[in-house]
Amino acid sequence: MKKIGEMLVEQGKLSERDVERALLAQGEMGDMFGQVLIKLGLVSEFDFATVLSAQLDIPLLAAADYPEEPVILEALAQDFMFSHLVVPFAKSDAGIRFAAAVPQDPFLAKALQMALDCPVEISLGLESDVNRALQLYIQQGEDDEEEGFDQFGGQSDDEFIEHLRDLASEAPVIRLVNQIIHRAVDNSASDIHIEPFEDGLHLRYRVDGVLQDHPDPPAANLSAAIASRIKLLSQMNIAEQRLPQDGRIMTRVKGHELDLRVSTIPTVHGESIVMRVLDRESIQLSLPDMGFSQDTLEKYQNLLARPHGVLLVTGPTGSGKTTTLYASLASLDSEQLKIITVEDPVEYQLQGVNQIQVQAQIELTFARALRAILRQDPDIIMIGEMRDTETAQIGVQSALTGHLVLSTLHTNTAAGAITRLEDMGVERYLITSSVNGVLAQRLVRRLCRHCKEEAPLSSEAAAASGITPFLEPGQRSIYQATGCEHCMHTGYSGRTSIHELFPLDDEMHRVIMTGADATTLHAAARRQGMYTLYEDGLRKVAAGLTSMEEVLRVTQDQSDDGALEELVDVAADVETQATV
């Protein structure tokens, strides 16, 4: 019998070098060879199962082969099925047929025959399919409603905590939580939402900034067990269900170093859990790869090269502000410069950069850390966020004393950052003396390269949308999202940035000192040649990177109601023409 590695190499699924890497990893991880290949992301679960099926001459079950109503066997313990990843899917006079993720285990068939005292046939099933069938098996059990926190009444506090720990330590729950995290890596999700509602437990993933429901959420009766397991991993108080909690999980999944930021809040139906997924290996730390248009990138790099002053990046939560700052720091020479950051939290560790984690519980705030930093002789200071007046004022003072200060602000437009600083108590003459520029940023989804379709663009639609100046000579079409298996039928895969750079030159200083509001400042910047977020988005549309609908979704707050209504009509017209 050929080895599974040889068969995969022959079919072009693996290289010989991949097999060597997997064998080395197997020695460290202790898992079966196939599990190591899948965890390392060298081969898909389906591809491996197909080859294993051929090697063992055992049929591979498809998801449709599992019955809608599970086959309940009273003589077989659920713990045994979960620990061995085996589930019954058919029962007849001739015997019972099982699906197993590891059908070649010689102990498995003997144990099943002894427990059931009847003939047993074992087929190969994908681990994900077997687990899904096991979840249905549990739901069908008689004790579904008896599991959970409602049954803990009458227990002492110690017994209650011990019960929670037992729930979190059961093999099925451990495997289920691992699968939830693994799916986030497979889908390139940024957040995992586990939410209890009246109709059951909902599982959602945020992919490319948009929430997507998972079709097979965990059973509602496992809500307590899942919460306990996640709390245990993130070192939270496992018995506290009445107050919000925060924690952190460091783990390695399929060769990826993951940092999960965990947040729980109590709701009327139980604890809602959100895990922010930070993949240390997927972060882009190169400014040219951040989605900048070439002219905007050159201007931003010029601002970054100045020896002192404040450079702000603005935008809502999740718009990539911190990643842009990390890429900015990575582009600087940390060997020649003393770079110190104050962050809450420190998301990624940068080589040669001194990074400080804010800790409110010991009163290590942004302002307190900044005062200490100034005695460390820094050249460049990065402040995770200017949240209060004291932090903003110290940041401005640091810029005036010869330091380059990078930070973020929550404003909708670049010009809005100026009035926001004034609201925080920074005088306008200090703003004009210290602030070099403001970069507003948003993230838009990239069109899937496998399925994007060209759509004709009429002259009227081009003029109404304002895209005409950004089209190539003779260009009369843009691209539209459709959807395929590569992009999970969304039409989009990955994200890129759109920017609005507001440099403060002498002309802008004069406008600011007149007491102009954000709208006036924005108009003045436009006269100086600034591209708005919407216009930069149109450049990405013209280049075929994203769609008109996506740019409108992200920049709706940049247009007045009448213009927005007209643009929505244009996007709909483009979509209709693409369909025709």
| Domain boundaries defined on the chain | 4-139, 166-279, 287-445+495-558
First to last CA, the chain: 55
Return the HEC string of 16-55. HHHHHHHHHHHHHHCCCHHHHHHHCCCCCHHHHHHHHHHH
- Confidence at residue 266, expressed as pLDDT on a 0 to 100 scale: 92
CA pair distance 533, 555, nearest whole angstrom: 7
What phi-psi label fits residue 61: left (phi over 0), alpha (psi between -120 and 50 degrees) or beta?
Answer: beta
- Confidence at residue 562, expressed as pLDDT on a 0 to 100 scale: 39
Confirm if 386 and 434 have CB atoms less than 8 A apart: no
- Confidence at residue 144, expressed as pLDDT on a 0 to 100 scale: 44
Angle at 518 between CA 512 and CA 521, to 5 degrees: 50
CA pair distance 190, 448, nearest whole angstrom: 18
> Other CB atoms closer than 10 Å to residue 450's CB: what's the count?
12
For the stretch 406-426, pLDDT in tens is: 999 988 889 999 999 999 999
- Confidence at residue 408, expressed as pLDDT on a 0 to 100 scale: 93
Question: What single-letter DSSP state applies at residue 75?
Answer: T
CATH 3.30.300.160 fits 4-139, yes or no: yes
DSSP 276-304: EEEETTT----GGGTT--HHHHHHHHHHH
- Confidence at residue 168, expressed as pLDDT on a 0 to 100 scale: 66
Q: What 3-state DSSP class applies to 227? A: helix
CA pair distance 494, 211, nearest whole angstrom: 14
- Confidence at residue 487, expressed as pLDDT on a 0 to 100 scale: 86
CA pair distance 172, 140, nearest whole angstrom: 16
The alpha carbon of 139 is separated from its chain's Cα centroid by a whole number of angstroms, namely 30
The CATH architecture annotation of domain 166-279 reads 2-Layer Sandwich (3.30)
For the stretch 245-295, pLDDT in tens is: 988 888 877 667 788 899 999 999 889 999 999 876 666 678 888 889 999
The CATH architecture annotation of domain 287-445+495-558 reads 3-Layer(aba) Sandwich (3.40)
Q: Which two tokens stand for residue 13?
A: 């699924």
Closest to 72 measured CA to CA, from 148, 133, 126 = 133
Question: Which residues in the chain show pLDDT less than 70?
Answer: 1, 28-31, 139-164, 166-170, 254-255, 280-284, 557-580
> Other CB atoms closer than 10 Å to residue 439's CB: what's the count?
28
